[in-house]
Structure 1
Amino acid sequence: MEIKLIALDLDNTLLNANSEISSRNREVLKLLHNKGLKVVLTTGRPIKGILPFIDQLELKQPEDYSINFNGGVIQNNLSKKIIFSKFLTKEDIVPINDLANQMRFPLDGVAIDRAYSIIDIRKSGYQSFIGKLMDFTDLSFHDLPADEHYYKFISQTDPEQVAKIQEKAADYPTFTIVKSRPNLLEFLPKGVNKSFGLGQLIKHFGWTFDNVMAFGDEENDLPMIKSAGIGVAMGNAIKEVKEAAQAVTKLNTEDGVAAYLVKYFDL
């Protein structure tokens, strides 16, 4: 089994407690990338939200891609060309907006280059999390553009409410609904997950999942951890990810990604 592609979750996996790529992780990934391996950031964030990390890792060769929106978009890091996408419409999300009004939780809709905070209930903290890398517009659901393509809707609220929403949302089988952090629940097009996105990318390269090594820590990483030829759980991963993985590395705060790669590739 030859590993040709390293798929990396960001938060609490590649990134440390300060949401930064450590110098050690950066050094090892750049070394492997220069040796010809594909290093693919595989995240729930839009590409605008990960541009600083793409720059830091120098992932800007003509065939460098990122998997965004938890598998809903595959985009070239250099040209920004989208080679695959699956999206939701405003009409699709009406049942979830109705649930939000019923349970009183906030929603944000995320398009390819901007986000919309639906403030009928209240504004969430999602804009603060993403920072200045993406433009946000505050509006009511009524004013949400009907012709926009939405790659996910999210609810960022307290973990207790997230758990209650997730339990209730099981009644909505037309979506993939997944927790990417304890306080962040994502509503995606049906069938979209990180494994789905990776499957589209490796098809582009003519490879199989046997050529993939994937790192993750949270519920939304489970599909790719299970599908990858080598799935690696962080030391801080949830129990389900550790049980599904072939290996467990150190914590994200201990350069766990670099530690495993150095050992595996004998660097």
Structure 2
Amino acid sequence: MAIKLIAVDLDGTLLTTTKQILPETERVLKQADSQGIKVVLATGRPLSGTIEFNKQLGLQGKRQYDIVFNGAVIQDLAGNILMNEEMNYRDFTNMRKLQRLAQVNLHFETPECYWTCDRDIGVNLARNATFTNNVLKVRKAEEITQDFAFNKVGLSVLDDEREVDKLWNNIPQWAFAKYDIVRSFSSIVEINIKDASKGNAVLQLAERLKIKPSQVMVFGDQGNDVSMFTNPDFMKIAMGNAIEEIKDYADYVTEDNDHDGIAKAIKKFVL
């Protein structure tokens, strides 16, 4: 059955190691879009961190969409929110409990900005805010009000990456039962409300657009992409640089993100 929606992870998939879209990958995605195939970025970033890449691909307006915050939010490219899965103040206190398991930065992501209660900011958190064109607001915990709501949490390297290993190995079972927790890279653990995932968001968006799951192609490389790869109906393409779990679920393993892996797979199976 013909592919009608292509969902593409950003970092490590669409973007090279230098955070660029290769010319051939750009050309092929534009060709897919011109043929009426929906090209959707599915990322852990907020919309502010995807806009420049959407513009490069010629994607804009209310009829184009991004899946952001690892699937907690679906927005059109005019900024309107179609789906919004949030956590609340009780979750805020739970996240602070998890932070005590290791020496890591903790930040909270909303469509407007990032929030943290940490006075010491590691390079990883500062860089994350910069890459996503986001304001990072530092506040004392007592300044966070009871109506605080957020879409995603990041627990990231402060000084030593081994602390993220320590955190990951000591997250209690109650947390895994209550939240969707992934290790998206070696330097960061990302947390969403339960069932908020890229896979579920891609499925919801496809249903909204009256596209069958078998008409969806997904690309990914890291732990926060696994939910897209566990859907048996999607056509699943792993990047050559993907973790083994992604490759195990994939229907096809393409070239890595520095060698036009997306373009090669789309030309092979779609165009």
Same fold (TM over 0.5): yes
Q: Which residue matches 1:234? A: 239
TM-score, normalised to structure 2, is 0.92
Secondary structure of 1:195's partner?
A: helix
For residues 215 and 142 of structure 1, the distance between their equivalents in structure 2, rounded to whole angstroms, comes to: 41
- 1:5 to partner: Cα distance: 0.3
Distance (whole Å) between structure 2 residues aligned to residue 67 and residue 217 of structure 1? 16
SS in 2 for 1:252: coil
Verify the 8 A CA contact 1:46 1:69 in the aligned structure 2.
yes
d(CA) in 2 for partners of 1:130, 1:22: 24
RMSD: 1.6
| Distance in structure 2 (CA, Å) of the matches to 1:159 and 1:18 | 21
Deviation string for 1:52-91 (max 9, x for gaps)?
11111111143110000111000001x2111111011122
Aligned to 2:152: 152
Structure with greater helix percent: 1
Provide the residue aligned with 1:86 in structure 2.
85
Contact 2:102 2:166 in 1 (8 A): no
Unaligned runs of 5+ in 2: none
Map Cα deviations across residues 140-182 of structure 1 (whole Å, 9 max, x no partner): 2222343232001101215432232122224212111111111
How big is each residue's C-alpha offset from its partner over 1:9-55, in whole Å with a ceiling of 9 and x where there is no partner?
A: 01111100101111111111011101100000000000011111111
In the other structure, the counterpart of 1:215 is 219
Give a deviation string over 1:88-127, Cα, whole Å, max 9, x none. 112212122023134232101111110112215x323223
Letter in 2 for 1:250: E
- Partner of residue 185, structure 1: 189
> Are residues 170 and 193 of structure 1, via their aligned partners in 2, closer, same or farther at CA, if it must alter by over 3 Å?
farther
Match of 2:165 among 144, 151, 163: 163
- Hey, what does 2:24 align to over in structure 1? 24
Question: Could you say if the C-alpha distance between residues 104 and 4 of structure 1 is closer, same or farther in structure 2, counting changes exceeding 3 Å?
Answer: same
Unaligned ranges ≥5, structure 1: none
Q: Deviations over 1:210-236 (max 9, x none)?
A: 111000011111110221521000001
Structure 1-normalised TM-score? Answer: 0.94
8 Å contact kept, 1:43–1:69: yes
Question: AA paired with 1:160?
Answer: R
SS at match of 1:149: coil
C-alpha change, 1:102 and 1:159, in structure 2 (3 Å) is closer
| Secondary structure in structure 1 of the residue aligned to 2:13 | helix
The corresponding residue for 1:137 is: 137
Matched residues in 2 for 1:169 and 1:208: separation?
A: 36
Report what 1:35 is aligned to.
Answer: 35
Amino acid at match of 1:123: I
Point out 4+ residue stretches in structure 1 off by more than 3 angstroms: none
Q: Paired residue for 1:123?
A: 121
Q: 1:262 to 1:165 in 2, by over 3 A?
A: same
Aligned residues: 264
- Tell me if structure 2 keeps the 8 A contact 1:44–1:71: yes
